Chain A
């Protein structure tokens, strides 16, 4: 995997350089080098799926898409002429074709002979450990099996660009975890560019080289997963990675929920950061209890179960939150 994404691809060279503008929905620039996995995260309606569809040519696009030095937009290429694999959220396996024929479909469409396409498809199913299901129709597959077939189908023709739209949505947690590990393995050996739309911080952290945060159709932040998780610039990402983030005029302040002290009386002393509010919800979080507190903003705080009982921290309870200065990380409001 690429360690350094700051360099980025050079125009005309290998990799992806895209300037995606869909009026009213998306205005984002995305770049990636071959082998790079870009996780696209952001709240619902941020334009994540639109970004994938724009790259695939499924929505009308202003701007440009260049892959490995060739333009897909000038002159415009048909969807089928773009070297891409698309993994849809609902798998969208052809219901009338077997798992094998689904995986072989892209190869057959691109002119690979029947026998060779079948052999390659078998290889792919084998890599996902489901070659014994080759003859099954989609309705005879479990959700996890179907998603494996869908990913194998997208990868089989060896596309330059792999687009995955929330591939683990709707799967059981256990199934999703197993599949995530498998996907990590396949992405590691995949030398094209992968864009993974997800709403799960874990996906972004475990699978991606780069995280691209979309908010309101614009890129709010890009960086390594570590970078984005440590210094989130949007409430959404902060919530995803479990941090409190406060945006000031020219900087961000972030702090972990476990650094928050909860008290019923107004805290005294040196704490510069304190808020008064009411408990909105309380839910187990690992060994702790995570409180969502509505102050002038929503903040999260982790407290021990003992403290929860002692202070009577049930929804509706008025509390004071405070954080020590040393637990707060401040970073500049850089260019997106």
Chain B
């Protein structure tokens, strides 16, 4: 409450916001908002429910929800330790590893898919070993979808959590050590709780990236209804034949994501 009051007073006493900030800011906002608004306006809402009812859409929605949920779980389970190592342990090649972790951020998703094929494809370095040893191949399975999603989403999560770990600093780790806590206890009881805002932000970023993931998935995992066809793949495919259907499907994805985000927000993000 006090913050609001202060904000208002300052706003009026410090003068009008300068045009040099207002104009570019408004331009940025327009660029972000206008296409969204036109997409909403352009959506054939009459067919919204019809589309939602089709088998292909329900399969793709189910798979997208499943893959993005598992992706977030994998990111948290594996990405948190990686972020901790990067933030807290001084090992040779740390700088190099941190740079490598960020690479998928700038990699075109299709290239990410190709990279995954070279590693985990039927004839990939790891994939062929796996195939020889177990007869099992990863491509064309839901597992492959999750791997592709994790590959592109993990950097968002790791960088977010690493940032939070660095921001909270080693200070409390030191305090915990003087109180006799080993590093694992310190991580569980001090480091992780203090980095929780970064963990939540990172999980949401990873989830959002996973929802929209398309290029790496279709290149590495393939595209088949029910097993590997996610919403973005379905949308891209629809775009090839019927752009109107594609717009409806995009809107379904948008509505579902926004609704989920709103639900999560009410559940977790409002209580600090």
Contact = CB atoms under 8 A, between A and B. Distances in A.
A109 B173 CA distance: 13
Among B175, B176, B193: residue with most chain A CB under 10 A: B175
B178 A56 contact: yes
A153 B180 CA distance: 12
Interface string A16-43: 0000000000000000000000000000
Interface stretch (B47-55, B76-84, B182-190, B248-256): B182-190
B177 interface: yes
B190 A94 contact: yes
A185 interface: no
Contacts of A84: 178
Sort chain B's interface into a size bin.
10 to 19
A317 to B, nearest CB: 45
B176 A105 contact: yes
B178 A94 contact: no
Contact of A88 (B175, B176, B180): B175
Interface in B95-137: none
A85 B176 CA distance: 10
A1 interface: no
B172 interface: yes
Interface string A72-115: 00000011110011101000101110000000011011100000
A188 B265 CA distance: 52
B181 interface: yes
| B interface majority secondary structure | helix
Interface in B154-189: 171-172, 174-182, 185, 189
B164 to A, nearest CB: 13
A109 B181 contact: yes
Contact of A80 (B172, B180, B196): B180
A314 to B, nearest CB: 41
B180 A110 contact: yes
Contact of A78 (B177, B189, B190, B194): B177
Given A94-B190, A95-B194, A105-B189, A85 B181 contact: no
Nearest to A150: B175
Contacts of B174: 58, 79
A187 to B, nearest CB: 18
Interface in A245-265: none
A109 B180 CA distance: 6
B183 to A, nearest CB: 8
A329 B182 CA distance: 54
B177 A79 contact: yes
B65 to A, nearest CB: 31
Sort chain A's interface into a size bin.
20 to 34
A94 B190 CA distance: 7
Given A94-B172, A109-B182, A80 B177 contact: yes
A314 B175 CA distance: 49
Contact of B181 (A56, A105, A154): A105
Interface in A168-219: none
Contacts of B185: 109
Nearest to A79: B177
Contacts of A110: 180
A106 B172 contact: no
A47 interface: no
A105 B175 CA distance: 10
Contacts of A95: 194
Contacts of B181: 80, 105-106, 109
A50 to B, nearest CB: 14
A109 B176 contact: yes
A157 B189 CA distance: 18
A157 B172 contact: no
Nearest to B185: A109
A92 B180 contact: no
A96 B176 CA distance: 13
Nearest to A163: B178
A217 B181 CA distance: 30
A105 B193 contact: no
Nearest to A87: B178
A294 to B, nearest CB: 41
A153 B179 contact: yes
Contacts of A56: 178
Among A79, A85, A88, A108: residue with most chain B CB under 10 A: A79
B177 A85 contact: no
Contacts of B179: 80, 85, 105-106, 109, 153-154, 157
Contacts of A79: 174, 177-178
Contacts of B196: 96
Interface in A99-158: 105-106, 108-110, 153-154, 157
Given A58-B178, A85-B179, 10 more contacts: A56-B178, A58-B174, A80-B180, A80-B181, A92-B171, A94-B176, A96-B190, A96-B196, A106-B180, A110-B180
28 contacts: A56-B178, A78-B177, A79-B174, A80-B177, A80-B178, A80-B179, A80-B180, A80-B182, A81-B180, A85-B178, A85-B179, A92-B171, A94-B172, A94-B175, A94-B190, A95-B194, A96-B194, A105-B176, A105-B179, A105-B189, A106-B181, A109-B180, A109-B181, A110-B180, A153-B179, A154-B179, A157-B179, A157-B180
User: Ordered nearest first, which 6 A-B pairs have the shortest CB separation?
Assistant: A106-B179, A109-B181, A79-B177, A86-B178, A109-B180, A96-B193
